[in-house]
A and B are shown apart, each in its own frame.
Chain A
Amino acid sequence: EPEVTQTPSHQVTQMGQEVILRCVPISNHLYFYWYRQILGQKVEFLVSFYNNEISEKSEIFDDQFSVERPDGSNFTLKIRSTKLEDSAMYFCASGGGSSYNEQFFGPGTRLTVL
């Protein structure tokens, strides 16, 4: 069964460093999302991506964040200069195809900013 994959599973970085979180969505999906979950808190929407462009972004998704689909399969989230408060679980999700209104989640990347 196809699934969304994410790498790395855990990323530790120093404050101010750039990180790139990678996702491989399900191959025939057209909609891609990033969400984050700070430990013990609710899941928050970051950004949605369709047709090679951002379709919506939240207030959290400021200039420090960017997304890219560089090669038609990967979907990346870049944080240019990480802050302590960026420490969270980051989930990639994809949707479309026959499961148009469902979002399938990857296993998440735990980002720890020191």
Chain B
Amino acid sequence: AQTVTQSQPEMSVQEAETVTLSCTYDTSESDYYLFWYKQPPSRQMILVIRQEAYKQQNATENRFSVNFQKAAKSFSLKISDSQLGDAAMYFCAYLPLNAGNNRKLIWGLGTSLAVNP
């Protein structure tokens, strides 16, 4: 079964510092996408960054970058220069691409990130 594991229920970081959130996944597929979503207190689900499994280059979006290790099935999120607005729940999610029209996201349990001023 395909699963996503986020082993850190809670993390904290000082403002302006860097933090890394961990995510591992289990799959036998070779073709998939990985995502990090941010869920602030408003509970809206906001896409932060995505990574295509076929790409070796790690995705970056401004202060957000990933460390994608396909062989190790690891997909960590690094937030640089943390800001108070980064405080949120962060979810790692996996999307298999060989499932036809059944493109359901498989989610981790989330990591709650606190940013300390």
Contact = CB atoms under 8 A, between A and B. Distances in A.
Q: Do A and B come from one complex?
A: yes
Interface of A: 31, 33, 35, 37, 41-45, 48, 50-51, 55-56, 58, 89, 91, 93, 95, 101-105, 107-108, 110
B102 A48 contact: yes
Interface string B83-117: 00000000101010100111111111110000000
Contact of A107 (B44, B93, B107): B44
B101 A91 contact: no
A51 B93 CA distance: 25
A58 B33 CA distance: 21
B101 A45 contact: no
Contacts of B44: 105, 107-108
Given A43-B91, A101-B33, A110-B43, A55 B101 contact: yes
Interface residues of B, number: 26
Contacts of A107: 42-44
B100 to A, nearest CB: 7
Interface string B22-60: 000000000001010100001111110010100000000
B101 A35 contact: no
Contacts of A58: 104
Give 4 nearest A-B pairs by CB, closest first. Answer: A105-B45, A56-B102, A55-B101, A45-B104
B108 A42 contact: yes
Contacts of B110: 42
Nearest to A104: B47
Contacts of A102: 33, 35, 47, 50
A31 B103 contact: yes
A45 B106 CA distance: 8
A35 B106 CA distance: 11
Given A43-B91, A91-B45, A108-B45, A103 B105 contact: yes
